[in-house]
Structures are given as C-alpha cells and as structure tokens.
Amino acid sequence: MKIHLTSVLVDDQAAALHFYTEVLGFLKKHDVPLGEQDRWLTVVSPEEPGGTELLLEPARHPAARTYRDALVEDGIPLAQFTVDDVAAEYERLSALGVRFTQKPLETGPVTTAVLDDTCGNLIQIASRPR
Amino acid sequence: MADDLFKALADATRRTILDELAERSGQTLFEICARLSTRHGLGISRQAVSQHLTVLEAAGLVETRREGRCKFHDLNTAPLRRITERWPAPPVPNPEDSTR
C-alpha cells in the first residue's frame, strides 16, 4: 500500500490552483473536467514530480465549512509540507503577501510556521528534523 | 476581580502560558499547544489548554481578537499592576549604595 494522493478541500479550485502553483510553487499535474463545475485537479512538488499528488478538492459538502472553520479558528493546519528552511520560506512567502497565523517557531528538532492558503485552510510548513 | 487574578496565577501551566505569550503575543490555540508540548513537555489536551485560556481571559491577563477567521490570544499584564499597588515593592536599591 502506498500514499499516492492526499487532498485539501478548497473553496475555489481556480483560486487554489493559482495559490498552490504561483505562490507556493507546486506544479500542476492533472486537470480533468468532472461534471459541469468540478475538476480533478492535482499538483506535485517540483522537487518530486513523480511523488505524492495533492488533490485540490472542491469543499462543497455542507459539513466541510463547519469542520474547516473550526480548525481555522483555533489555528490548526489541515496539511503539512516540508521545506529546507522555514525562515527563508517565511520571508519569501510574506513578500508575496501570504498571511501567516504562526510565525516561524523552533519546537525541538523542527521549526514550523503556519500560513493561510486563502482557500479556507491553514497549512503548516516544517523543516526536516536535524 | 482580585480573586480571578490570583486564581489565574495559582497554576503552573497557566503561568507557563503567560511566559510563552510574553515571548510572542498574538498566538493561536494551536501555537500555544505546540509550545506547551514541545518546549515544556506538557501533554495536555487542546480542550484543557482552552479552559486555562478561559481562566486567564476572565482575569484580564489574556485578551482575544479575531483576524479573519482566526482567533489570536494576546498578553495583557496590566492587571498585575494591582498586586504592586496593593503591596508596593521595596524601592530598588541604588547600585552605588550596594558597592559599599
């Protein structure tokens, strides 16, 4: 068994594609129309184009809003991505207008920060453990 | 009011929360929990931390604000002034006197 795909629920797929590619820097992998308004839309890391895909999934289920709002209120990230240097990513993304709900924080062997993906989720970035 | 203040300060976990907020004000519940567990080895539930924050808020030591859909916690040390007003601290000794 392998983890080939994971997903985040997004308010708007077009806006999510922009944020996850143009701002975070992922690459679009699959973009297949599904029905009248939805797409099977995945992105991958440029460092690992054949690696795990992230599905930008429409958050249309009525319970999705309640669930995601509760997480965001408490500052809880829905997903975590690994970066080489959290402080450098914080500077780069802040300059692009990204809002952080947690600035870089050293917690034992890893440094983390939490950002708003503008699509209804908080995302944690974390350094690899030293 | 005074009872709320002393009750809030009478717990080691709540004092640790104040320490962490003193280092950086404006933290989400998630960040406070992360600091307590990774820096202080306090394995307490998010719900318990939330209850501690409610006590600190009742004492006026923590204030919350909403920014977008997020809730942030700020430190407010103003209520502590009531303690030194009630029991004034001795004057700080003059460093020149102490060398004698």
- Find the CATH number of the domain harbouring A24: 3.10.180.10
Q: Coil, strand or helix: which one is B64?
A: strand
Cβ-based contacts of A76 with chain B (< 8 Å): 28-30
Band (pLDDT 50/70/90 cuts) for residue B99 is low
Q: Is there a domain that residue B66 lies in?
A: yes
Is the Cβ–Cβ distance between A57 and A10 less than 8 Å?
A: yes
If one counts the domains in chain A, the total is 1
**Hey, which residues does B100 pair with through a beta bridge?**
none
If one counts the domains in chain B, the total is 1
Does the beta-carbon distance from A75 to B46 stay under 8 Å?
Answer: no
Q: Is there a domain that residue B49 lies in?
A: yes
Dist CA B68 CA A118 (whole Å): 11
Cβ-based contacts of B72 with chain A (< 8 Å): 101
- Find the CATH number of the domain harbouring B53: 1.10.10.10
Range of the domain at A50: 5-127
Query: Given strand A100-107, what is the order of strands in its sheet?
Result: A79-83, A122-127, A110-116, A100-107
pLDDT digits (tens, 9 = 90+) for A61-106: 989 999 999 999 999 999 999 999 999 999 999 999 999 999 999 9
At A35, the amino acid letter reads: G
Does the beta-carbon distance from B30 to A102 stay under 8 Å?
Answer: yes
Does the beta-carbon distance from A102 to B68 stay under 8 Å?
Answer: no
Closest alpha carbon within chain B to A78: B30
In this predicted complex, what is the ipTM? 0.90
Range of the domain at B24: 2-85
Q: Is there a domain that residue B97 lies in?
A: no
Q: Is there a domain that residue B95 lies in?
A: no
Does the beta-carbon distance from A75 to B71 stay under 8 Å?
Answer: yes
Q: Is there a domain that residue B93 lies in?
A: no
Q: What's residue B90's pLDDT? A: 87
Which residues have CB under 8 Å from B42's CB, separation 6+?
B13, B16, B36
For the record, the structure tokens of B51 come out as: 């209850």
Dist CA B35 CA B46 (whole Å): 12
Q: How far is A109 from chain B (nearest CA, A)?
A: 9
